[in-house]
Structures are given as C-alpha cells and as structure tokens.
Amino acid sequence: MRVARIACPRCWQELHDAGRNLRCDGCREVYPVARGIPSLLVGPPATWEELIRTLDWEMQRHPWVVLKMSVAACTWLPRARQRLLRSLPIAAGDLVLDHCTGRGGNLPGLRRAVGASGGIAAFDLSGYGLAHALRTVERAGWQNVRLQQADAHRLPYLSKTFDAVIHFGAWNQLASPERALEEILRVTRPGGWVVLLDEGIEPKLRRTLWGSLLQWANPLFGCDPPIALLQAYGMRPEVRWVVRGMFYEVRFRTPV
C-alpha cells in the first residue's frame, strides 16, 4: 500500500502528527484534522468560508446537474465516467491524485485501477463533497485512499509524488489555471501522466442546434481545451472529445 506524503502548503515541508492536528516543523503552521481529513488551507478560516459555502451548494445540486447533462447526452454520465476511468494510463501499484475530487465519483474506478498495492490522495475545497467521498471510502474500507481539504493552487503534497494526476470537471472554473498547472507539474513524478477533463464541445458541433442549446444552458460548454497553456509550459498534450463530443479530455506525460 502506498500513501502520499502530506506537505505544508505554505513551505512544502513534510507535516507531522500532533494529536488532533498536523504540524509543520518548518514554518510552525498547525492544520486541524476532523474525521481523518486534514484541512490544509493557507490563511485564516474566515478567508475561505464564502467560497466553501458556494462550493458546498454546488455539490448539493450536483446530482441534478448530472441528470440534466445525461438527458442532453442521451447517456448516463456516471456510467460514461467509469468507462473513461478504465481508459486512463494507470496501473496496479500506482500512486494517484484525484485532483478536485468533488463528491468522490472517481474513487471507485481509481481504486480498482491501483488495487490494494497502490494509493490514492483525493482533495477538494468543499466540505460537503469531502463528507460524501468519506462515506464512500469508509463503506468500502479502503485503507489506501486518503482525503484532504485543500486548494488546487497550493497543493499539500511533496514534489514528484504522484504517478498520475486526474482532474475531472471544474478546470474551466479555476481562479488561476496557470497556478494550478504549475502545482500539478510540481507534484507529478517525471514521466508521470496528467489527465484533464471538463465541459467543452467539439468545435464542429458548436454551431449545430444541439451545440448551441448546450452552450445556452451552460456557457462552460463553449470552453476550449487548455492547449496553449500546456504548450507554454512545454507539454505536448493529446486531445480527444468524449461523451458525444460534449467534453474534452487532455492527457500528457511530464518531462523525464
């Protein structure tokens, strides 16, 4: 079983157990732990309250959003998600980061891929989403799946930790995709895989009636894959459109 080593998001030194908290020996910051989930956010809790409240509300309505998108796609999206997870370049024994895990929908598929010998770290800002993911982990009894409350722009992991980083959804809504990408590249080992998936209609479908209706219902479907951003950082991404062309999937390997 592999477990990701947690680091202070301020100075990226390794954290140590201090009873009900995690403590950084470098900057002396202390991070609370509740139900086994450390809250690894930089700054006083008040600075995060409004954003977390907003994300919690989005997580609560997420099943309804999935239902509406499933009707639009004429396919059940949770089943399509599992098919996509089976196609990922993940092997038994890998250590994987589920980047912005939300309600933990990726966890069963990722756990099947890495097996008992691998490990998964999964983080999100939403406390509601993490509570839902925790119930999945506890019911299954997975000892090699660990959850953290964290910010995508300051990941609480040591550098070159993960064999693969998987991000499904909300890339288009990040405050700073550039900063999030820098952090992903920092925590992924040389030669590791990164996969980003989010709303974005295939260009040839955008001017169709169906594509126009999708973008009217949710403008995020008009987003493009972050190809220029990835190329600016020296990546050579592969792009494909999945689930009837409603979503883009970008995958690449980090430089060796």
Query: Residue 20 domain-assigned?
Result: no
Q: List per-residue pLDDT tens for the chain, 256 residues long.
A: 888 889 999 999 989 887 789 999 889 999 999 999 999 999 888 889 999 999 999 999 999 989 988 998 889 999 999 999 999 999 999 999 999 999 999 999 999 999 999 999 999 999 999 999 999 999 999 999 999 999 999 999 999 999 999 999 999 999 999 999 999 999 999 999 999 999 999 999 999 999 999 999 899 999 999 999 999 999 999 999 999 999 999 999 999 8
Q: Are 63 and 51 in contact (CB under 8 A)?
A: no
What pLDDT was estimated at residue 72? 86
Provide the domain count of the chain. Answer: 1
Is the residue at 171 inside a domain? yes
Please choose, from the candidates 118, 233, 122, the residue with its C-alpha nearest in 3D space to the C-alpha of residue 168.
122
Total-model pTM: 0.95
Give the pair of three-digit tokens for residue 160.
């070159």
Domain extent at residue 219: 37-253
In a domain, 22, yes or no: no
Token digits for 24?
A: 């950084």
Domain membership of residue 31 (yes or no) is no
| Residue 136: other Cβ atoms inside 10 A | 18
Sign of CA dihedral 13, 43, 185, 81: positive
Q: Where residue 107 sits, what CATH number does that domain have?
A: 3.40.50.150
In a domain, 11, yes or no: no
For residue 217, the SS3 value is helix
87 belongs to a structural domain:
yes
Instruction: Identify whether 165 is part of a domain.
Output: yes
Residue 166: beta bridge partners?
98, 195
Given a contact cutoff of 8 angstroms between Cβ atoms, the answer to whether 153 and 176 are in contact is yes
Query: Is residue 19 included in any domain, yes or no?
Result: no
Say how far apart CA 43 and CA 86 lie, in whole Å: 38
With H, G, I as helix, E, B as strand and everything else as coil, classify residue 61: helix
pLDDT of res. 128: 96
